[in-house]
Amino acid sequence: MSMPLPAVLRRPAWLTTLAMGFVILWLIIAAFPFAWTVWGSFKVQTDFFSRDSWWNAITGPMTTRTTGGPFTTDGYYGAWVTTEFWRAALNTLIVTVCVTSISLSFGTLGGYALARSTHRYRFWILVAALFFRAMPEVTLVSGYLFPFFALNIWGHLPTAIIVLVALNQPFTLWMMYSFFQGIPRDLDESALVDGCNRFQAFRLAIMPVMWPGVITTGLFSFLLAYNDFTVTGLVLSKDNQTMVPKIASYLGTIQDEGAIMFAVAAVVSITIPIFLLVMFFQRYLVSGLTAGAVKG
Amino acid sequence: MPHSSFFRFMAPSLIAMLLFIALPTVSIFVQSLYVEHPQVLIETETCQPLGGCVKETTVDVAATAKLRSEAPLGQFNGLGTYVDRNHLAINSVGLLWSRSGSLGEFVSGMMNLRFYRALAFTLFYCFLVTPLAMALGFGIALAVNVVPRLMKGPVIFFSLVPMLITPLVGALILFWMLNSDGILGVALQVLFNDPGLSTQSSAPLTWIMLIVYGTWTNAPFSFIVFYAGLQAVSRDTLEAAMIDGASRWERVRYVVLPSLKPLVLFVLLVQLMDNFRVFEPIISFNASANATSLAFDIYASLNTQTSQLFGSAAATSVITIAFIAVLIVPILARVARELQAGRV
């Protein structure tokens, strides 16, 4: 490898420079909006949305004038305390933890069965799941609301949780199915030969090696529940709102002076967990995104 | 695996999908055949000795409530909701067709019809954002492949965030920068030397802003998948092409792209599927005056202060699902073939 590359294989300098410039430009496009919003969330509205100069959002003259310093946490105080964003955050925590754990349990069992079955209905379940995955959630929600009102279960957290679990199933099933396809059959079949039943074989032979697949799938299940607006926005009552519908509700009151900064602070707050997730699980996320693609 | 243990493993997942995906599909179809009860009106005539008689119409609240509780689904309307003015608007379209002198007139007339307005934007968004985001993602993947390895990690990190961010939140972040008080909005005003320029003021500008958001949030997916694909392109074929004197562009065109073809198909269909449900950015951009989508229309019918229009939402949903079915039949057929061949 230490041999110099032949001239034809070497990249011209201009190409590397051009690529470098393009990558840096993309980095700015991808990251700048977040940096700008985080910075602006510590200003007052008249600075972040300044009619005079965008420079005000950086230096914050009005923030200094009204609050005594160039940075203020008024937006965060207003969101988390005054408008009780903490309640929405708590609801989001409950919903995401429940949805992720339940859909992983369901999906792992189902995915394993699909990967090990050779019957024809397996094929139809997988194709149907793919079609279900393609249907926009809101079309299904329009089917739920009426029965939910009739059964008087509309508005509660468990209702949203079970709906999100169900909507999560097609994706979870496919992910876990293709993961289990990659685990050699010999592993659980030898356990069956040794006298285990299916559940024992699953528990003793498969469970110890399935965690990378479970983590990857779990991350995407978490994101689906965390990012959802369609179900949580339409199925939950005002008292049980999670973070995303709560942020949407700020938009209606945007005319009030300062209320928009509550929304900005809430937006920054809801982004932080996603940042941490990407930071700690980047490898899993990338492998999950490419898993479906590479297989086909 | 025997049937009994297969279904024991599969049961929780199957029941969840049957109850909350398959059954609602039936339920929206049934709902779409019904329409809300009209309010029961009573006409009363009050006669003054000298002033003559005045007819007055009032809502009989008690009778309306009784009717609604007796048949909560509404009254049977057959396919009436599908063809009414807010949906397929068969009559209005026919009238427009026969009355308008030019194609332009016909199109602008169609854009006044709620369903076609939403359909037009949905398709426009779907078929513009998908190729734009794929091209941008492919460009980033090619560029990252060339720059020093050190940059790979940070680029992937910062690319994942716009993609995994809550759609409503990501769109809000861009909207705040793009509206007339935001940094990019002001930059545009300076650029076009028009202090009154507002990205919200006209339909074309709003559509462009939504496309910009869509490309920003969708490009990273293409980038990640194509970047992974690039690592698997055969070195030997590339070197052979180089020795044969293929230029850089020719190598991309005739070696790299063909070997990425399965990935391109995969990304294309996932993106079409996802972009077809575009809905949150319209709320974030407060754009419903200039742009609506099918998903947004359903949401708007359900998210009303007074009484939800279940019939309307259901009819739009059935039509949307029909479109999705047409859109993804190719992928379903392909996956079915691969499944049968045992390759997936």
Give the pLDDT confidence of A148-175 residue by residue, as tens digits. 988 999 999 999 999 999 999 999 999 9
Q: Could you tell me whether strands B75-76 and B52-59 are parallel, antiparallel, or unpaired per DSSP bridges? A: unpaired
Residue A87 lies in a domain: yes
Rounded Cα–Cα distance for residues A68 and B198 (Å): 32
What confidence tens digit (pLDDT) does each residue in B226-245 have?
A: 999 998 888 888 889 888 88
Q: A62 and A132: one domain? A: no
Helix pair B257-276, B203-231: axis angle to 10 deg: 140
Q: Quick one: A264 exposed, middle or buried, by C-beta within 10 A (0-12, 13-18, 19+)?
A: buried
Residue A114 lies in a domain: yes
Chain A residues touching B299 at Cβ < 8 A: 138, 230, 233-234
Chain B: closest CA distance from residue A68 (Å) = 24
Comparing C-alpha atoms, which of A222, A240, A242, A218 is closest to residue A230? A242
Q: What tokens does B285 get?
A: 């951009």
Q: What tokens does A139 get?
A: 């079309």
Collect contacts of B1-6 with beta carbons under 8 A, ≥24 apart.
B1/A113, B1/A116, B1/A117, B1/A118, B1/A119, B1/A198, B3/A119, B5/A113, B5/A197, B5/A198, B6/A113, B6/A117, B6/A119, B6/A122
Q: What percent of chain A has pLDDT over 90?
A: 64
Mean pLDDT of chain A: 89
Q: A167 and A113: one domain? A: yes
Rounded Cα–Cα distance for residues B218 and B216 (Å): 6
Q: What percent of chain B has pLDDT over 90?
A: 42
The pLDDT score that the predictor gives to residue A9 is: 56
Domain residues for A165? 78-295
Average pLDDT over residues B78-95: 86
Residue A233: pLDDT over 50 = yes
**pLDDT class of A221 with cuts at 50, 70, 90:** very high
Asked if A169 lies within 8 A of B16 by C-beta distance, the reply is yes
Q: A225 and A115: one domain? A: yes
Rounded Cα–Cα distance for residues B210 and B289 (Å): 13
Residue A18 lies in a domain: yes
Residue A269 lies in a domain: yes
Chain A residues touching B275 at Cβ < 8 A: none
Asked if A23 lies within 8 A of B273 by C-beta distance, the reply is no
Asked if A251 lies within 8 A of B283 by C-beta distance, the reply is yes
CB A253 within 8 A of CB A82: no
Average pLDDT over residues A14-28: 93
Residue A2: pLDDT over 50 = no
What confidence tens digit (pLDDT) does each residue in B99-129 have?
A: 888 888 888 888 889 999 999 999 999 999 9
Chain B residues touching A293 at Cβ < 8 A: 225, 228-229, 263, 266-267
The pLDDT score that the predictor gives to residue B83 is: 87
Domain boundary (A72, A105, A121) is at A72
Q: List domains and CATH numbers for chain B.
A: 32-74 (no CATH), 79-112 (no CATH), 115-291 (1.10.3720.10)
Q: A55 and A171: one domain? A: no
Chain A residues touching B182 at Cβ < 8 A: 49, 54
Residue A123 lies in a domain: yes
Domain boundary (A17, A48, A72) is at A72
Average pLDDT over residues A57-64: 88
**pLDDT class of A296 with cuts at 50, 70, 90:** very low
Rounded Cα–Cα distance for residues A161 and A191 (Å): 36
Instruction: Find the residue in B nearest to A225 (Cα).
Output: B166
**pLDDT class of A253 with cuts at 50, 70, 90:** low
**pLDDT class of B47 with cuts at 50, 70, 90:** confident
Q: A145 and A228: one domain? A: yes
The pLDDT score that the predictor gives to residue A95 is: 97
Query: Residue A175 sits in a domain of what CATH number?
Result: 1.10.3720.10
Residue B145: pLDDT over 70 = yes
Mean pLDDT of chain B: 88
Q: A42 and A138: one domain? A: no
The pLDDT score that the predictor gives to residue A140 is: 94
**pLDDT class of A225 with cuts at 50, 70, 90:** very high
Instruction: Find the residue in A nearest to B167 (Cα).
Output: A227
Cα–Cα separations (whole angstroms), residue A205 to A175, A281, A295, B7: 19, 26, 24, 20
- The secondary structure element, H or E, covering residue B270 is helix B257-276
Cα–Cα separations (whole angstroms), residue A204 to A104, B180, B229: 18, 61, 35
Place of tokens 């479109």: B323
Q: Does A259 touch chain B (CB under 8 A)?
A: no
Number of H helices, E strands in chain A: 15, 0
The pLDDT score that the predictor gives to residue A4 is: 53
The pLDDT score that the predictor gives to residue A114 is: 94
Q: A228 and A100: one domain? A: yes
Instruction: Find the residue in A nearest to B274 (Cα).
Output: A134
**pLDDT class of A6 with cuts at 50, 70, 90:** low
The pLDDT score that the predictor gives to residue A276 is: 96
Domain boundary (A19, A49, A72) is at A72
Residue B340: pLDDT over 70 = yes
* Contacting B residues, span 266-325, partner chain A, CB-CB under 8 Å: 266-267, 270, 273, 276-277, 279-280, 283-284, 286, 294-295, 298-299, 301-303, 308, 310, 313-314, 316-318, 320-321, 324-325
Q: A166 and A288: one domain? A: yes
Q: A59 and A194: one domain? A: no
Q: A173 and A84: one domain? A: yes
Q: A135 and A66: one domain? A: no
**pLDDT class of B149 with cuts at 50, 70, 90:** confident
Residue A2 lies in a domain: no
> How many domains does one find in chain A?
2
Average pLDDT over residues A202-218: 93
Rounded Cα–Cα distance for residues B335 and A155 (Å): 38
Q: What percent of chain B has pLDDT over 70?
A: 98
Rounded Cα–Cα distance for residues A104 and A110 (Å): 10
The pLDDT score that the predictor gives to residue A30 is: 96
Instruction: Supply the ipTM of this predicted assembly.
Output: 0.91
Q: A193 and A231: one domain? A: yes
What confidence tens digit (pLDDT) does each residue in B279-332 have?
A: 999 999 989 889 999 999 999 999 876 677 888 999 999 999 999 998 888 777
CB A24 within 8 A of CB B141: no
Residue A240 lies in a domain: yes
